[in-house]
Chains A and B, each alone.
Chain A
Amino acid sequence: MTMDTLALNNTLVEDYLKRFIQEELHTSGFTEACIALSGGLDSALVLKLAVDALGADHVHAIFLPYKASSDESRRDARTMFEFCGIPWQELDISGMADAYLALQPGIDRLRTGNLLARLRMAVIFDQSKKENALVVGTSNKSELLVGYSTWYGDMACAIMPIGDLYKTQVRSLARHLGLPQQVIAKPPSADLWAGQTDEGEIGVSYETLDQVLYLLVDQRCSSAEVSSEGFELDLVQRVERKILTSQFKRVSPPIAKLSQRTVGIDFLYPRDWRK
């Protein structure tokens, strides 16, 4: 197992994902997309794909900073707006966040992070109504699998174009699309406090995490088999536990079945259901 195993034909992936965005919007009767831009790589890539797929006039991106957001996030978000040729839009969520946070003395960093993610969700969904647009999500496969994302926060969206790309594959596709180097090269961060990085939080580099996930998930290897590929058993088991404990985020809430046909159990229609 090397990083080459995860290499993709980015020309094919780019073509496929642009068509996915176009068709999924079109089938749902939409022409406009709404994207919350964080200044990070995932939303930058999704913005670029959406602009290429739909045209800059049909993509409504918005930067939603909190007062603790870093200057780099603002700078990189601005760079992406300019790179994609769309007008700068910013809405500061500090006021609405602080109104609630003032009522919650002693709130910890995790709760604060989740709150900010859910406030951004509320804003982006409202903006999407205003623009008659669909919210395009920016979650990647690595974070979906380990649950490094906020349920009904940054995970909330209508479609997830890069949800089957590991973070390292996201980076590779971003390079292929010529995204600004400063956006590609910076350490991934949820930007909830100064110096926070994903890799610090998850406790492993994305290069290692993605290889372990690939072996566990795509290849269905046991933790012992993954370990025999040169990864510490303790780390592999930790990743396995993260997958397990975040399963609830990846499914719709179970409904207690009573009737003949129950939503999610035996009332089964595709999302692209047309009558």
Chain B
Amino acid sequence: MTYTVALAQVNPACGDLEYNVKMHIDQAERALEAGADLIVFPELSLSGYLLKDQTLDVMRRADCLEFAGLCELSRHIAICAGFVEEGEDGIPYNSALFMDAGEVCHVHRKMYLPTHGMFEELKFLGRGRELSVFDTRFGRTGIVICRDLFHPLEVSTMAALGVELLLAPSAMPARGFGGEELGIEQTVGLALGSASTFLGMFVVYVNRVGFDDGLGFYGRSALSDPVGGITVSAPRFEAVQLLGTVDTSHIARHRYQLPIRREEDLEIVRHALETRRNS
């Protein structure tokens, strides 16, 4: 099976749901016209990133009226977008929804919310505690939001649970201007390379652009293919929408050539954890 994914490297307006919903619909319609089957937006794309106390004002249920138009559009194109989710427990979560066929099929709550240095996510948001592994028409799909991608244990576990398509919406600020590329780009490159090369997944990494106060988001969204490497690479700093092709036959081909998945033995991990716990 081959399908087309649109990487929406956009600049959401901080705290302006109305503007952002309209921007999502425009982007999704454009992607649909271009023949995309799936469009992926960055982290917190519907709400904006540096919300602080606006978090309370913009938190919504995934099935809220404001997102109904977007959900309707998902009858024609699957959509992965970020928002502040109002949990059933009344807690705001940094979440990403997956809509398809006119329904919200899945919501992932970010598990690892950076709270150090320039980041203060846990000050305002609750922590998700579940890996997101769910079946879609694109195969077994997983979602990791920004920092989640930097936790190899979780990404490896998702691979072990059969994930073939990993969606990685992000809001990564630029830093490290000393080299040919930004320092943070190299870090992300390692994570993408490791997920595709060792775990045999397609990864759709979509990072936003623009500034929230002094934080500048650098873009460089990418599609990482287990066989072809980085097949789509968006420019730095620029708002763009790019299309990439996923050929799912690459997964089996890669796993045959480098059968790490076949060799994987979770019993070793289980045994190590149990031995450690009992010692």
Contacts and interface: CB of A to CB of B under 8 A. Distances in A.
B83 interface: no
Nearest to A8: B177
Interface string B177-196: 11110100000000000000
Contacts of A7: 178
Nearest to B120: A268
B79 to A, nearest CB: 24
Interface stretch (B101-109, B134-142, B210-218): B210-218
B179 A16 contact: no
B179 to A, nearest CB: 6
B200 interface: no
B41 interface: no
B112 interface: no
Contacts of B180: 9
A268 B120 CA distance: 12
Given A8-B177, A275-B15, A270 B216 contact: no
Main secondary structure of the interface of B (DSSP, over half): loop
Interface stretch (A17-25, A78-86, A196-204, A232-240): A17-25
Contacts of A27: 211
A273 interface: yes
A274 B14 contact: yes
Contacts of A221: none
- Interface centre among B16, B52, B210, B214, by most chain A C-beta atoms within 10 angstroms, is B214
Nearest to B210: A23
Interface in B196-245: 210-214, 216, 236-237
A272 B177 contact: no
A9 B178 contact: yes
A269 interface: yes
Contacts of A13: 177
Given A19-B216, A20-B211, A274 B178 contact: no
A274 B212 contact: no
Nearest to B13: A274
Contacts of A273: 14-15, 54
Interface in B146-163: none
B53 interface: yes
B174 interface: yes
A267 interface: yes
Contact of B14 (A20, A24, A268, A272): A272
B14 A12 contact: no
A272 B53 contact: no
A12 B177 contact: yes
A15 B53 CA distance: 31
Contact of B52 (A8, A9, A269): A269
Contact of A274 (B15, B53, B177, B216): B15
B213 A272 contact: yes
Contacts of A111: none
B25 interface: no
Contact of A15 (B16, B210, B211, B237): B237
A269 B177 contact: no
Given A12-B182, A270-B54, 6 more contacts: A268-B52, A269-B52, A270-B51, A270-B213, A272-B213, A274-B16
Interface of B: 13-16, 50-54, 174, 177-180, 182, 210-214, 216, 236-237
Interface pairs A-B: 5 shortest CB-CB: A268-B52, A270-B50, A268-B53, A23-B211, A8-B177
